[in-house]
Structure 1
Amino acid sequence: MPKIALFVTCVNDVAFPSTGIAAVRVLERLGVEVDFPEAQTCCGQMQYNTGYPAEAKPLAEKFAGDFRGYDAVVVPSGSCGAFVRDVHPRLLGADDPPPVYELTEYLVDVLGAQDVGAYFPHRVAYHPTCHSSRLLKLGDRPTRLLRRVAGLELVELPGAQECCGFGGTFSVKNPDVSAAMGADKVAHAVESGAEYLIAADNSCLMHIGGTARRSEAPIKTLHLAEVLASTADSPYGASA
C-alpha cells in the first residue's frame, strides 16, 4: 500500500485545524491510510514571496527531510501545494522529491473518485483561488467533486476568476487595495445567492470571511475539504 502523508500547512494548523481533519476523513473514507509527520513546519512560501529566498531554503530543506520516504504528499491548500511543487525543486535541485498533490488532484487524478460519499444540503458557490487556478491548474476538479455531493446546489459565482485581494503579504503591503478587492469578492458571493463560498485555500477564505463578517454580509465561507467530509450526521449535514 502506498505511503501517503498529509502536509497540513501553517494556516490550517494554527487557524483551521478542522480542514486537516476533514482531509484525512475523506481520504480514509476512500480507503487511504494517511500519515502525519509531526515535525513538519512552514514550507517557506511567505519568506520566498516577500523576497527572502535564502531564508526560505532551509524550510524547503526541512520539508524534504520531513516527507522523505513517502510515495505522495497531499495538501489541502492550492497555494502551499503550488509553492512546494513549483519552487522547492528550484531552491533545492532535488533529484527525486515525492509527488505533491493538492487534495482534489489526489482524489480525482490518483484515486479516480468524484463521489466521495458526502452530504451537504446547502447552496454553494466555488471561488477558484489564484494559485489553484493559475499554477496548479486545478480546472474543474473541485466543481466535479462538488456536483457529486448529495444535497448540494452549486451556483455560479460572478467574477469567479478575479483575485480576492489576499495575496499573502500583498494584503499587508497594500491594505486599501486588498480590502477593496475583498469587498468585491464578497459582493459577488452575495449576488450568487449562495449560503457558503467554498475554496481550496483557507488563507483566501480567511480574507473573504473576515470581510463578510465586518460588513455583516449574508455569506459564510468553508474549505472544500470540509464540504467533502460532511455527512448526514455531521454539523453541516443539517439543513439550513
Structure 2
Amino acid sequence: MTDGRSGGVTPETIVGLFIPCFVDQCRPDIAAAMVRVLERCGFRVHFDPLQTCCGQPAFNSGHDRYAAAVGRCLLHVLSRYDVVVAPSGSCVSMVRHRLPELVPDQAGVCGRVWELCEFLANEQATSRIDATWAGRVALHMPCHLLRELRAASAVRAVLASVRGLEVVELPSSEWCCGFGGMFAVEFPELSTAMARTKLTQVMNAGIDTIVSPEASCLLQLECVARAAQLPLRFRHVAELLAGAETPLFSGC
C-alpha cells in the first residue's frame, strides 16, 4: 500500500471479491454489477462463499472480542488472494483500519482489501470501463469512503469516465445520510431527518437519480424516499458502470 496502488495486478492475478452483508442480503444485483465491470476491465475475479461479515456491527456496538472473531474468519478466507475488491467503503474501512488492531497477525491481509472505485482508479482501469449513462445524477459521498479511505477523488474519476453522465454534487453531497449502522436504530427521528435534508436538495435540483458507492447509504435514502413517496431512483456506482437500468436481481 505504500505506493498507493492496489497491488500491481497482472493478467494472472485473481481478484477476490468481498461482498458485504447489505449487498449479499438486500442488493445482490450490486455484486453482479461489480463482477461485470471488473471483467469488462480485464480482471479475473473469484468469490468464496465461505466469507463472513467484517465484524463492523459488533465493533460499533463495543463488542471488540466478537468483532475480532468474525473478522478473523473473514481474513482467513480472503488470505488466499493478492488483492480483494468490495463495493463498500464502510466495510473496507473496517477491514483496513480496525481489523489490524483486532487481529494483528492478519494485518497483511487487511492491507490487500480495496473499495471498487479506488481499485479501478489505482489500477488505471477507468479508460477500460466503457460505460454510458445519459442524464444527470446526484452524487452521495459516503462518510467512511470520504473521511477514512479518502477515496472521493477515485469516485469522481470513475464517474468521469462514463459517457453522457452529468454528476451533480449538491451542498449536501458530503453530508451523512443518517444511516450510520446502529445510529439509525437508536436515533430514528434524527436519522430520518438527515436523509430528508439530502433528498429535499435533490428534488429541488430537479434530479431524479441518486448514485453512491455505498449500498447501506442507498438503502437508507431509498427507504426514507419511499415513505415520503418521492419519485427518485437509487443506483450504486457499480450498477451505473455496468449499465444496469434496473436491478439484475430482486433484493429485500
5+ long unaligned stretches in structure 1: none
- 1:17-32 matches, within 5 Å, as 17-32=28-43
RMSD (Å), alpha carbons = 1.4
- Matching of residue 193 in structure 1 with residue 206 in structure 2: yes
CA contact (8 A) 2:138 2:211 kept: yes
- Cα distance change of structure 1 residues 115 and 124 upon mapping to structure 2, 3 Å threshold: farther
- 1:156 corresponding residue in structure 2: 169
CA contact (8 A) 1:186 1:212 kept: yes
- Matching of residue 96 in structure 1 with residue 77 in structure 2: no
**Which of 158, 162, 167 matches 1:145?**
158
Q: Deviations over 1:100-151 (max 9, x none)?
A: 1100011010244245111111210111110110011012211222122122
5+ long unaligned stretches in structure 2: 1-11, 247-252
Q: Deviations over 1:39-78 (max 9, x none)?
A: 0111100010011111111111101110112110101001
- 2:144 corresponding residue in structure 1: 131
Q: Secondary structure at the match of 1:96?
A: helix
Aligned pairs, number:
233
Q: 1:157, 1:114 → 2: CA distance? A: 26
After superposing the two structures, state which structure 1 stretch, 211-220 or 200-209, moved more.
Answer: 211-220
- How far residue 235 of structure 1 moved from its aligned partner, in angstroms, is 3.6
- Matching of residue 184 in structure 1 with residue 207 in structure 2: no
Q: 2:223, 2:19 → 1: CA distance? A: 22
Give TM-score, length-normalised by structure 2: 0.88
After superposing the two structures, state which structure 1 stretch, 49-58 or 186-195, moved more.
Answer: 186-195
Identity %: 36
- Matching of residue 75 in structure 1 with residue 92 in structure 2: no
Quick one: which amino acid aligns to residue 33 of structure 1? R
- Cα distance change of structure 1 residues 89 and 162 upon mapping to structure 2, 3 Å threshold: same
**Which of 65, 68, 79 matches 2:76?**
65
Give TM-score, length-normalised by structure 1: 0.93
- 2:222 corresponding residue in structure 1: 209
Q: 2:181, 2:239 → 1: CA distance? A: 22
- 1:121 corresponding residue in structure 2: 134
